[in-house]
Amino acid sequence: MLENEEALNAYLENTCDVENDLLKQINRETYLKETMPHMLSGHFQGRVLAMLSSLVKPKRILEIGTFTGYATLCLAEGLERDGVIHTIDINEEQQDRVQAYFDASPFADRIQYHIGDAAAIIPTIGGEFDLVFIDADKKRNLFYYEMLINHVPRGGLLLIDNVLWKGKVLMEDPDNQTKKVIELNETLAKDTRVDKLILPIRDGLFVLRKK
Protein backbone atom coordinates (compact mmCIF):
# COMPACT_ATOMS: atom_id res chain seq x y z
CA MET A 1 0.00 0.00 0.00
CA LEU A 2 1.31 3.46 -0.90
CA GLU A 3 2.02 5.98 1.85
CA ASN A 4 -0.91 8.22 0.87
CA GLU A 5 -3.20 5.17 0.78
CA GLU A 6 -2.14 4.29 4.32
CA ALA A 7 -2.87 7.84 5.40
CA LEU A 8 -6.27 7.75 3.70
CA ASN A 9 -7.10 4.42 5.33
CA ALA A 10 -6.16 5.84 8.73
CA TYR A 11 -8.36 8.87 8.03
CA LEU A 12 -11.31 6.64 7.11
CA GLU A 13 -10.87 4.61 10.29
CA ASN A 14 -10.64 7.75 12.40
CA THR A 15 -13.89 9.15 11.01
CA CYS A 16 -16.09 6.09 11.44
CA ASP A 17 -17.27 4.37 14.62
CA VAL A 18 -14.53 2.79 16.71
CA GLU A 19 -13.94 -0.93 17.02
CA ASN A 20 -15.17 -2.45 20.24
CA ASP A 21 -12.65 -4.21 22.49
CA LEU A 22 -13.43 -7.69 21.16
CA LEU A 23 -12.95 -6.64 17.53
CA LYS A 24 -9.67 -4.96 18.47
CA GLN A 25 -8.58 -8.22 20.10
CA ILE A 26 -9.50 -10.28 17.03
CA ASN A 27 -7.68 -7.82 14.78
CA ARG A 28 -4.55 -7.88 16.91
CA GLU A 29 -4.46 -11.65 17.41
CA THR A 30 -5.15 -12.35 13.73
CA TYR A 31 -2.06 -10.36 12.76
CA LEU A 32 -0.04 -12.11 15.45
CA LYS A 33 -1.14 -15.68 14.76
CA GLU A 34 -2.28 -16.01 11.14
CA THR A 35 -0.04 -16.41 8.08
CA MET A 36 -2.47 -14.42 5.89
CA PRO A 37 -3.89 -11.77 8.23
CA HIS A 38 -4.82 -9.51 5.29
CA MET A 39 -7.86 -11.78 4.84
CA LEU A 40 -9.39 -10.02 7.85
CA SER A 41 -12.12 -7.54 6.91
CA GLY A 42 -10.62 -4.96 9.25
CA HIS A 43 -11.92 -1.82 10.92
CA PHE A 44 -13.34 0.25 8.04
CA GLN A 45 -14.81 -2.61 6.01
CA GLY A 46 -16.16 -4.05 9.22
CA ARG A 47 -18.06 -0.81 9.84
CA VAL A 48 -19.40 -0.94 6.28
CA LEU A 49 -20.67 -4.49 6.83
CA ALA A 50 -22.23 -3.51 10.15
CA MET A 51 -23.94 -0.51 8.53
CA LEU A 52 -25.34 -2.54 5.63
CA SER A 53 -26.59 -5.21 8.01
CA SER A 54 -28.21 -2.59 10.25
CA LEU A 55 -30.03 -1.11 7.24
CA VAL A 56 -31.41 -4.49 6.21
CA LYS A 57 -32.19 -5.62 9.79
CA PRO A 58 -31.90 -9.29 8.77
CA LYS A 59 -33.52 -12.16 10.61
CA ARG A 60 -31.20 -14.65 8.91
CA ILE A 61 -27.66 -14.08 7.63
CA LEU A 62 -25.40 -16.51 5.82
CA GLU A 63 -21.65 -15.94 5.72
CA ILE A 64 -19.39 -18.15 3.60
CA GLY A 65 -15.83 -17.81 4.89
CA THR A 66 -15.59 -17.13 8.62
CA PHE A 67 -11.79 -16.81 8.91
CA THR A 68 -11.26 -15.44 12.44
CA GLY A 69 -14.82 -14.18 12.92
CA TYR A 70 -14.31 -10.42 12.59
CA ALA A 71 -16.82 -9.89 9.78
CA THR A 72 -19.23 -12.33 11.43
CA LEU A 73 -19.49 -10.16 14.52
CA CYS A 74 -19.83 -6.99 12.43
CA LEU A 75 -22.68 -8.48 10.42
CA ALA A 76 -24.34 -9.75 13.60
CA GLU A 77 -24.69 -6.16 14.84
CA GLY A 78 -27.60 -5.62 12.44
CA LEU A 79 -29.54 -8.77 13.35
CA GLU A 80 -33.11 -8.59 14.58
CA ARG A 81 -33.37 -9.57 18.24
CA ASP A 82 -34.49 -13.08 17.35
CA GLY A 83 -32.18 -13.27 14.31
CA VAL A 84 -29.41 -15.75 13.61
CA ILE A 85 -26.24 -15.75 11.53
CA HIS A 86 -24.93 -18.97 10.02
CA THR A 87 -21.23 -18.79 9.23
CA ILE A 88 -19.28 -21.50 7.41
CA ASP A 89 -15.55 -22.14 7.18
CA ILE A 90 -13.45 -25.05 5.94
CA ASN A 91 -10.57 -24.56 8.40
CA GLU A 92 -11.13 -26.54 11.58
CA GLU A 93 -7.73 -25.54 13.00
CA GLN A 94 -9.11 -22.11 13.92
CA GLN A 95 -12.37 -23.44 15.31
CA ASP A 96 -11.64 -23.31 19.05
CA ARG A 97 -10.21 -19.79 18.97
CA VAL A 98 -12.97 -18.40 16.76
CA GLN A 99 -15.68 -20.07 18.83
CA ALA A 100 -14.17 -18.44 21.92
CA TYR A 101 -14.51 -15.03 20.25
CA PHE A 102 -18.15 -15.75 19.46
CA ASP A 103 -18.81 -16.95 23.00
CA ALA A 104 -17.35 -13.69 24.36
CA SER A 105 -19.65 -11.57 22.16
CA PRO A 106 -23.21 -10.32 22.81
CA PHE A 107 -24.32 -12.56 19.92
CA ALA A 108 -23.14 -15.89 21.33
CA ASP A 109 -26.61 -17.46 21.17
CA ARG A 110 -27.30 -16.12 17.67
CA ILE A 111 -24.22 -17.39 15.84
CA GLN A 112 -24.29 -20.85 14.29
CA TYR A 113 -20.72 -21.76 13.38
CA HIS A 114 -20.30 -24.55 10.82
CA ILE A 115 -17.06 -26.27 9.82
CA GLY A 116 -16.90 -28.02 6.45
CA ASP A 117 -17.63 -27.60 2.74
CA ALA A 118 -20.11 -24.76 2.25
CA ALA A 119 -21.64 -26.41 -0.81
CA ALA A 120 -22.61 -29.39 1.33
CA ILE A 121 -23.60 -27.44 4.45
CA ILE A 122 -25.85 -24.77 2.89
CA PRO A 123 -28.60 -27.24 1.84
CA THR A 124 -28.72 -28.60 5.40
CA ILE A 125 -29.43 -25.10 6.77
CA GLY A 126 -32.20 -24.36 4.30
CA GLY A 127 -34.62 -21.45 4.23
CA GLU A 128 -34.14 -17.88 3.05
CA PHE A 129 -31.42 -15.42 4.00
CA ASP A 130 -31.98 -11.68 4.20
CA LEU A 131 -28.25 -11.05 3.86
CA VAL A 132 -25.51 -13.21 2.34
CA PHE A 133 -21.79 -12.45 2.58
CA ILE A 134 -19.53 -14.50 0.30
CA ASP A 135 -15.85 -14.27 1.26
CA ALA A 136 -14.32 -17.66 0.55
CA ASP A 137 -12.75 -19.51 -2.39
CA LYS A 138 -12.84 -16.96 -5.21
CA LYS A 139 -13.09 -19.68 -7.87
CA ARG A 140 -16.47 -20.71 -6.43
CA ASN A 141 -18.01 -17.28 -5.90
CA LEU A 142 -20.26 -17.51 -8.95
CA PHE A 143 -21.29 -21.03 -7.92
CA TYR A 144 -22.28 -19.80 -4.45
CA TYR A 145 -24.12 -16.82 -5.91
CA GLU A 146 -26.20 -18.96 -8.25
CA MET A 147 -26.81 -21.42 -5.44
CA LEU A 148 -28.20 -18.71 -3.16
CA ILE A 149 -29.85 -16.04 -5.32
CA ASN A 150 -33.23 -17.80 -5.19
CA HIS A 151 -32.96 -18.09 -1.41
CA VAL A 152 -32.75 -14.32 -0.88
CA PRO A 153 -36.08 -12.45 -0.64
CA ARG A 154 -36.89 -9.21 -2.42
CA GLY A 155 -34.86 -6.40 -0.84
CA GLY A 156 -32.26 -8.80 0.55
CA LEU A 157 -28.55 -8.26 0.03
CA LEU A 158 -25.79 -10.42 -1.38
CA LEU A 159 -22.27 -9.15 -0.68
CA ILE A 160 -19.20 -10.58 -2.41
CA ASP A 161 -15.69 -9.63 -1.31
CA ASN A 162 -12.40 -9.25 -3.24
CA VAL A 163 -14.00 -8.43 -6.59
CA LEU A 164 -11.26 -5.95 -7.60
CA TRP A 165 -8.59 -8.55 -6.84
CA LYS A 166 -5.81 -6.07 -6.00
CA GLY A 167 -6.49 -4.23 -9.25
CA LYS A 168 -5.71 -7.30 -11.35
CA VAL A 169 -9.15 -7.13 -12.97
CA LEU A 170 -7.64 -4.40 -15.20
CA MET A 171 -4.77 -6.59 -16.44
CA GLU A 172 -4.53 -7.13 -20.20
CA ASP A 173 -3.34 -10.72 -19.71
CA PRO A 174 -4.93 -11.90 -16.45
CA ASP A 175 -4.01 -15.15 -14.72
CA ASN A 176 -6.59 -17.91 -14.25
CA GLN A 177 -7.64 -16.78 -10.77
CA THR A 178 -8.17 -13.23 -12.00
CA LYS A 179 -10.15 -14.52 -14.98
CA LYS A 180 -12.59 -16.12 -12.53
CA VAL A 181 -13.07 -12.80 -10.73
CA ILE A 182 -13.57 -10.98 -14.04
CA GLU A 183 -16.09 -13.62 -15.16
CA LEU A 184 -17.99 -13.18 -11.90
CA ASN A 185 -18.10 -9.39 -12.24
CA GLU A 186 -19.17 -9.47 -15.87
CA THR A 187 -21.90 -12.02 -15.12
CA LEU A 188 -23.26 -10.05 -12.19
CA ALA A 189 -23.20 -6.79 -14.16
CA LYS A 190 -25.68 -8.37 -16.61
CA ASP A 191 -27.92 -10.01 -13.98
CA THR A 192 -31.34 -8.32 -14.13
CA ARG A 193 -32.50 -10.02 -10.91
CA VAL A 194 -30.49 -7.58 -8.79
CA ASP A 195 -29.51 -3.95 -8.43
CA LYS A 196 -25.75 -3.84 -8.16
CA LEU A 197 -22.62 -1.80 -7.61
CA ILE A 198 -19.03 -2.37 -6.54
CA LEU A 199 -17.79 -0.38 -3.56
CA PRO A 200 -14.03 0.25 -3.97
CA ILE A 201 -13.39 -0.62 -0.34
CA ARG A 202 -10.10 -2.43 0.31
CA ASP A 203 -10.17 -5.19 -2.35
CA GLY A 204 -13.63 -4.37 -3.70
CA LEU A 205 -17.04 -5.27 -2.28
CA PHE A 206 -19.86 -6.17 -4.68
CA VAL A 207 -23.22 -5.14 -3.24
CA LEU A 208 -26.26 -6.74 -4.88
CA ARG A 209 -29.85 -6.06 -3.85
CA LYS A 210 -32.51 -8.58 -4.88
CA LYS A 211 -35.31 -6.98 -6.90
85: β partners: 61, 111
Superfamily of domain 3-210, CATH level 4: Vaccinia Virus protein VP39 (3.40.50.150)
3-state secondary structure (DSSP) of residue 157: strand
Q: How confident is the model at residue 2 (pLDDT cuts 50, 70, 90)?
A: low
Task: Determine the pLDDT at residue 166.
Answer: 86
pLDDT at 205 over 90: yes
pLDDT tens string 6-27: 888 899 999 999 999 999 999 9
Cβ proximity of 75 and 105 under 8 Å: no
89: β partners: 115
pTM of the model: 0.94
pLDDT tens string 141-167: 999 999 999 999 999 999 999 999 988
pLDDT tens string 78-93: 999 999 999 999 999 9
| Portion of the chain with pLDDT greater than 90, in percent | 88
Among 106, 162, 131, 105, which Cα is nearest to 52's? 131
Q: How confident is the model at residue 138 (pLDDT cuts 50, 70, 90)?
A: confident
pLDDT at 1 over 60: no
